[in-house]
Structure 1
Amino acid sequence: MPNKVYIKLIFSALFLFLAITVSAQNNSKNSKSGWTYTKNSSVVELKTNEKDSLKVDFLSIKADTGLTILQNQFGIPETDSGMIKIEAFIDNVISQNDSTSPAMFVHVKMGAKIVALKDPRIVDLLGRSSSGKVTISIPFDRKINNLYLGFVLNPNSLVSCRNYRIKITQGEFSKEWESTHSSKFQTVTDFAANLQLLGKVWGYLKYFSPKISDEDIAWDRILINNIDTLFKNTDRENFLHVITKLVDTATYENSCTLTSSPGLDSATAFEKMNIDYTWIFDSSVLDERLKDQLLSLSRCYQHFENDYVKTPVETGKPSPEFAEDGYDKNSLSEYRYRLLSLFRYWNIIEYYGPYKYLVKERWSHILEELIPEFTAANTSSKYTRALLKLNASIKDGHATTSSSLLPHFSLSGNGSLLPFRLTLLDGKAYVAKIDTLYAKHTGMKQGDEVVSINGYGVQYLIETLRSGISHVRREMKDRVITQHNLLARTPIQKDSSIVKFVSNGAIGRASVYQDQNYFKQYDFKPFWTFQKRTTGGNGAYQLISDSILYVNVEKWKNTDVPTTKNLLAVASNVIIDCRYYPSWDFIEFASVFFQDTTDMIKFMVVQNYPGLLKEQVARSIPSSDFRYKGNIYVLMSEESLSRPEMLIMFLKSIKKNIYFVGRTSAGADGDIASIPMIGRNNMEFIYSGLGVFFPDNTATQGVGIEPDTYITETKAEFIDGEDVILKNTIDLIQKKRFP
């Protein structure tokens, strides 16, 4: 596993090495070939190829004290896209341990700007290679004109290599690469299915086999090498050899005779709902020996210290935590690393996703669908679109990662932003806010319907954006589009933004040239930011009338306890606004609304056994010094997401004198977990790492919680800023229209 201190040290060194080069006469020695190395090295041997500066016939460097860097810079003809490939044969590598192994680094640059970089440890590159050959491949899809590369050594380490070669080719952008890689999915029977099985077996072993962690096996590197092997040789016999070797590498000789895991014997069917080994039983590729080897790991599973995951049982936290190597943060990763990302994500959801049951049938086959797409994603935009598609496939409301990037990666054209905010209502887009000067120039005004943007029909834009958002319900996808103002970020095709709209029954056309002056004359600040709902009250609480107390659960603090209790003593009705994110202070205070001890909510917590959940029921504990006896009205809507939804579930366990008003909640409950991915796409991948259910196992994830009284969304909410839900609730209380 990667050593975080080591990685930080390496990155610091890489970003500082330019300064080291500048002061070479004081801190380093130079060779005629342009290679530079720091004085911390006691022995350096370097034999370069006189005819080709991109070749080094022999290189040896030994570090005694401090950090040692051997580096070079190469200017190259400006190139739009291609592959940087570095190959070498490592004769010897010595370090105090694997975590301080010497590393090779490559900076791919355009001028002073880094386009791509990579700095793998040599020990990881070698893996179990017997030949000593190592390869670094870096695809790029934007202009470059120079390279910085070399070696970084920690104290008391050594590396020697021969035939160090740097190649610049068309790589994944060439027709040759297409014919040897992407075309295999059309020409080789079951090729995607075989890769899918490889990814499943690899992930299953990663989480079930103690040997991988015990012996610190470079499991990612083994997968990468196997992917390479399968693309080079697609024979069925070769595939079986790869799978057999993979299983044998990861498993000890098994003497276990158990027929089922002790960890599962006491578990309920609900706790085991995500466990599924059908893909092993039904495989026509795996022979009986392999099936038994794999299934014995689940039958005989005993908890071990897994290098890749820490569960809530181990940490005491609500969700699992994952330790993974990022390898590079380039906008486009090499195809084997793209597939590694795909397999990593799939297996985390497979074994540690509490809500996997929601997509269980589709999840079993999603790899076979996405493997060709991840392989063929030879530009940063294509790779990001593939990642977004993967992320959207889990149908998890927490997984709406970096939504503001959706228009850029989902549509062609240049980045843009329009000086207005659009809100979706019943599948149509309306102007909620607009820059005053833009409105004057174009005739567009608040409340107008927009029908097309930059050549795209609004309905097409909405459907395209929805496809990249990880929600089950359409209204929640539309909420994301509205809150992040995604329609106003639609790319332009040339140099002007063109918007068609309906105003007072007539079609209008707003065409504005987007030059530097465009971004100076209009105020964009109100439209860049995430839109927050209009506040329902001015503070933590507000006495609306002698009999109605309003409470904002987000602003409420412990210091408000005395005043709130005094107000509750005289108010016969209290409105609890759960459209806001509640403070833990208020959640604790909510005990005053309970009259009896009752089951409120059931948490399904990820366990050590991969795929297993454990029920934990939360019970209400009524306040001992004060209990509210009046009517309770809970405000809710699609804004009620995660913790607000949990509070609603708590309050739902109160059976008398409580009413829920508004719209269906988000259906995205549970604590979040992060999935470390490969590539710099300005996205954070998260999912719901804790399952949350009603005590009777009724789900809210992807469904939401229904109110007793439904208040339809209207234009007044986003045009006039009117709080329709609060207004209607007050009206219903005053007219006593509740059951």
Structure 2
Amino acid sequence: MRKKIKYVISIIFILGLLMSFGFFYIQKQNEYKQIAGISNYSSKNISDLAVLCKVWGYVKYYHPSVIEGKYNWDDELIKMIPKVLKSKNKNERNRLLTEWVTLLEEFEQDSLPKFNPDSIRIYPDLDWIEDKKELGTLSNQLEKIKTAKRDFKYDKYIQYSGMTISGEAEYNKPLYPVTEYRLLALFRFWNVIQYYYPYKYLIDENWHKVLKDFIPKFIEAENELEYKLVILELVTKLNDTHARIEWDSTIEKWKGNRIAPYEVSFIEGKLVVTDVYEVIDTINTNNSIQVGDVIISINKNLINNIVDEKIKYIPGSNYTARLRKIADLILRTNKKKLEVEFLNEGKHSKTELSCYNLSQVKIPSKFNRDDKLFKIINDSIGYLYLGSTQGGEVPQDIQTKGLIIDLRCYPSYDKVKGYWDYLQLYSEPNVFVKFTMGDSKFPGLFKYMGETTVGSENPNAYQREKIILVNEITQSHAEFMAMKYGIAKNTIIIGSTTAGADGGVISLKMPGGVLVKFTIAGVYYPDGRETQGIGIIPDIIVRPTIKGVKEDRDEVLEKAIEIITSP
């Protein structure tokens, strides 16, 4: 009898421990979903958090004492979140924020700078601080900060050191931050874009609306993957091919650690097999799918549906650039097989593709290849491929009927010499570009930094026809070189839409060990036209065709040869 009693007591004790542990676990999990004890947030809470985000970011970049690092501004935000959420109405919220801002160190006043309107590309988006109906007397405090004297050499947050926005605390652990720190990630990114992104005016959606839309998404992210995907979705809103989350194991696993060993591209609106990859120590026995075949579905999911599912996580300046990135991912998976429906010579077929670990598959770079820097093609035409991994020096004494410069690549700047100032192409100096950068003394302002010239008086310049080849692979530095070479006399650009992402790239650290990247400098033609989003517009549009892929032809190069050799 005593044994039975002991047994029952033991069972009750164990059940009690399990229930306690379960309660503790649920409680800890709920901490990730709650802010200040609020789990069922309202539209008022969202509006209050949006105002807090904007005030916090504005003061961060405009108040002299905060700029100089005299306050732990992240910590101030974390402490203010529950206070603002517990405010009963707009007036109480504004009173809290007014007291918060007023308690900061006093500063000297200055007058607003006077600018030549012709030198300004973007004015700061500060109309919201004048909304007295929304902000009450807080508006007066914010107006005062706008005219603060910001005459200093040190800025804690904007230093651009090593192409990283320095001064930001990393918070690498935990990988799935609690709610307040997830909101810190959103607020940090939103405000950097608000004041330092040169192409904010090109974002499709109102940036203030984006903030309100994403506050619930960051609150509701239930695990590390959801949190990082929400960041990726937010980054995608920039419409910037440069924008991305730097390599992250969680995101990579989501993309898939395996791949079917085929290169695919979107050609004529269809997903087309363009190459077969080599698999290390394995023979790819699936010969049913060939170069030129059109893939219709993957695992019974139509390609158009897959594109629609993925595209909100695929940053890109234009649709073509985003399709390029989707094509690189679409055959990645964590499964060992993919069921594929495809068209071969108009005939529907199905097959199962074996998928291999990424480390087993030799995936060549689309941006560079092992090819000669310069060679003669078609007997008398010079062909210069700046993505050459063999490198070398660009030719100076060119004795050819024409010159083709292939920028369907990323220039190998560490191996190719002489391409930057390729003076042999220019018979006279020409202005080809001007830049904008953000202004840390008046954040949100973007001024032109002057025009840049290339070339010099050169009676011995190469006078014959020069043709530049571009496509969706032509991105950033390659687009810049297309602008630069394109200004030379007797030069035409042929091909298709480029990636539309020019200007330097900068990094921003986010809670959870996430590193995001995006464009930081504005790049414009001398007349003010941007390449961002639009890309380099070819003089002659030439795109690959499915027929050309099947015949292993380079139709863009063929067109360039045709132009040079035509009478």
TM-score range, shorter chain: 0.7 to 0.9
Q: Equivalent residue for 1:273?
A: 122
Corresponding position: 1:707 with 2:555 = no
SS at match of 2:494: strand
Amino acid at match of 2:484: F
Deviation of the 1:78 alpha carbon = 9.8
Kindly indicate whether the alpha-carbon contact (under 8 Å) linking 1:332 and 1:680 is maintained by their aligned counterparts in 2: no
Summarize deviations over 1:419-473 as a string: whole Å, max 9, x none: 4333222332223344798874583333332222234322111112222122242
Q: Equivalent residue for 1:692?
A: 523
Q: How does 1:538-617 map to 2 (within 5 A)?
A: 538-545=371-378, 547-555=380-388, 560=393, 564-566=395-397, 568=398, 570-582=399-411, 583=413, 585-609=417-441, 610-615=443-448, 616-617=450-451
Amino acid at match of 1:307: K
Kindly indicate whether the alpha-carbon contact (under 8 Å) linking 2:437 and 2:446 is maintained by their aligned counterparts in 1: yes
Kindly indicate whether the alpha-carbon contact (under 8 Å) linking 2:427 and 2:459 is maintained by their aligned counterparts in 1: no
Kindly indicate whether the alpha-carbon contact (under 8 Å) linking 1:439 and 1:445 is maintained by their aligned counterparts in 2: no
The structure-2 alpha-carbon separation of the partners of 1:307 and 1:174, relative to structure 1 and needing over 3 Å to count, comes to: closer
Q: Equivalent residue for 1:427?
A: 269
Deviation of the 1:687 alpha carbon = 0.8
SS at match of 2:245: coil
The structure-2 alpha-carbon separation of the partners of 1:460 and 1:309, relative to structure 1 and needing over 3 Å to count, comes to: same
Q: TM (normalized to structure 2)?
A: 0.85
Q: Equivalent residue for 1:393?
A: 237
Summarize deviations over 1:552-591 as a string: whole Å, max 9, x none: 2244999636xx223x1x2231112222323374344422
The structure-2 alpha-carbon separation of the partners of 1:720 and 1:348, relative to structure 1 and needing over 3 Å to count, comes to: farther
Deviation of the 1:676 alpha carbon = 1.0
Corresponding position: 1:488 with 2:319 = no
Q: Using the alignment, how far apart are the partners of 1:326 and 1:179 within structure 2?
A: 23
Kindly indicate whether the alpha-carbon contact (under 8 Å) linking 1:399 and 1:685 is maintained by their aligned counterparts in 2: yes
Q: Equivalent residue for 1:8?
A: none
Q: Using the alignment, how far apart are the partners of 1:184 and 1:559 within structure 2?
A: 62
Corresponding position: 1:621 with 2:455 = yes
Q: Equivalent residue for 2:312?
A: 467
Q: Using the alignment, how far apart are the partners of 2:314 and 2:462 within structure 1?
A: 41
SS at match of 1:580: coil
Amino acid at match of 1:645: E
Summarize deviations over 1:707-737 as a string: whole Å, max 9, x none: 111112223665565332112211221124x
Q: Using the alignment, how far apart are the partners of 1:382 and 1:400 within structure 2?
A: 16
The structure-2 alpha-carbon separation of the partners of 1:445 and 1:283, relative to structure 1 and needing over 3 Å to count, comes to: farther
Kindly indicate whether the alpha-carbon contact (under 8 Å) linking 1:355 and 1:691 is maintained by their aligned counterparts in 2: yes
The structure-2 alpha-carbon separation of the partners of 1:212 and 1:589, relative to structure 1 and needing over 3 Å to count, comes to: closer
SS at match of 1:446: coil
Q: Which of 108, 112, 133 is the matching residue for 1:261?
A: 112
Amino acid at match of 1:630: R
Deviation of the 1:228 alpha carbon = 2.5
Summarize deviations over 1:64-95 as a string: whole Å, max 9, x none: xxxxxxxxxxxxx999x999xxxxxxxxxxxx
Q: How does 1:238-249 map to 2 (within 5 A)?
A: 238-249=92-103
The structure-2 alpha-carbon separation of the partners of 1:426 and 1:362, relative to structure 1 and needing over 3 Å to count, comes to: farther
Q: Equivalent residue for 2:3?
A: none
Deviation of the 1:686 alpha carbon = 0.8
The structure-2 alpha-carbon separation of the partners of 1:266 and 1:638, relative to structure 1 and needing over 3 Å to count, comes to: same
Q: Using the alignment, how far apart are the partners of 1:196 and 1:428 within structure 2?
A: 42
Amino acid at match of 2:349: G
Please report the RMSD computed on the Cα atoms of aligned residues, expressed in angstroms. 3.5
Corresponding position: 1:302 with 2:150 = yes
Corresponding position: 1:649 with 2:483 = yes
Amino acid at match of 2:104: A
Range that drifts further, 442-451 or 290-299? 442-451
Q: Which of 555, 560, 566 is the matching residue for 1:724?
A: 555
Q: Which of 181, 184, 202 is the matching residue for 2:41?
A: 184
Q: Using the alignment, how far apart are the partners of 2:456 and 2:155 within structure 1?
A: 41
Amino acid at match of 1:271: I
Q: Equivalent residue for 1:663?
A: 496
Range that drifts further, 326-335 or 661-670? 326-335
Q: How does 1:196-345 map to 2 (within 5 A)?
A: 196-214=50-68, 216-252=70-106, 256=109, 258=110, 260-262=111-113, 265-268=114-117, 271=120, 273-282=122-131, 284-288=133-137, 290-304=138-152, 305-310=154-159, 321-345=165-189
Deviation of the 1:247 alpha carbon = 1.3
The structure-2 alpha-carbon separation of the partners of 1:713 and 1:372, relative to structure 1 and needing over 3 Å to count, comes to: same
Which has the larger strand fraction? 1
Q: Using the alignment, how far apart are the partners of 2:351 and 2:155 within structure 1?
A: 58
Q: Equivalent residue for 2:4?
A: none
Q: Equivalent residue for 1:12?
A: none
The structure-2 alpha-carbon separation of the partners of 1:718 and 1:195, relative to structure 1 and needing over 3 Å to count, comes to: farther
Corresponding position: 1:673 with 2:515 = no
Count, aligned residues: 541
Corresponding position: 1:374 with 2:374 = no
Segments of 5+ residues of structure 2 without an aligned counterpart are: 1-16
Q: TM (normalized to structure 1)?
A: 0.66
Q: Which has the higher contact order (CA 8 A, sep 6+)?
A: 2
Corresponding position: 1:350 with 2:194 = yes
SS at match of 2:58: helix
Q: Using the alignment, how far apart are the partners of 1:716 and 1:397 within structure 2?
A: 29
Kindly indicate whether the alpha-carbon contact (under 8 Å) linking 1:407 and 1:490 is maintained by their aligned counterparts in 2: no
The structure-2 alpha-carbon separation of the partners of 1:523 and 1:385, relative to structure 1 and needing over 3 Å to count, comes to: closer
Amino acid at match of 1:291: S
SS at match of 2:120: coil
Percentage of matched positions with identical amino acids: 26
Deviation of the 1:340 alpha carbon = 0.2
Q: Equivalent residue for 1:131?
A: none
Q: Using the alignment, how far apart are the partners of 2:341 and 2:390 within structure 1?
A: 47
Range that drifts further, 548-557 or 294-303? 548-557
Corresponding position: 1:510 with 2:351 = yes
SS at match of 1:184: coil
Q: Equivalent residue for 1:637?
A: 471
Q: Using the alignment, how far apart are the partners of 2:22 and 2:209 within structure 1?
A: 32
The structure-2 alpha-carbon separation of the partners of 1:236 and 1:416, relative to structure 1 and needing over 3 Å to count, comes to: same
SS at match of 1:395: coil
The structure-2 alpha-carbon separation of the partners of 1:725 and 1:234, relative to structure 1 and needing over 3 Å to count, comes to: farther
Amino acid at match of 1:553: L
Amino acid at match of 2:171: Y
Deviation of the 1:364 alpha carbon = 2.4
Kindly indicate whether the alpha-carbon contact (under 8 Å) linking 1:661 and 1:725 is maintained by their aligned counterparts in 2: yes
Kindly indicate whether the alpha-carbon contact (under 8 Å) linking 1:659 and 1:708 is maintained by their aligned counterparts in 2: yes
Amino acid at match of 1:598: N
The structure-2 alpha-carbon separation of the partners of 1:587 and 1:691, relative to structure 1 and needing over 3 Å to count, comes to: farther
Deviation of the 1:225 alpha carbon = 1.3
SS at match of 1:365: helix
Corresponding position: 1:417 with 2:259 = yes
SS at match of 2:292: coil
Q: Equivalent residue for 2:10?
A: none
Q: Using the alignment, how far apart are the partners of 2:380 and 2:286 within structure 1?
A: 50
The structure-2 alpha-carbon separation of the partners of 1:462 and 1:530, relative to structure 1 and needing over 3 Å to count, comes to: farther
Summarize deviations over 1:579-625 as a string: whole Å, max 9, x none: 23233743444222122222110011223221222322101232658
Q: How does 1:15-34 map to 2 (within 5 A)?
A: none
Amino acid at match of 1:599: V
The structure-2 alpha-carbon separation of the partners of 1:591 and 1:607, relative to structure 1 and needing over 3 Å to count, comes to: farther
Deviation of the 1:174 alpha carbon = 8.1
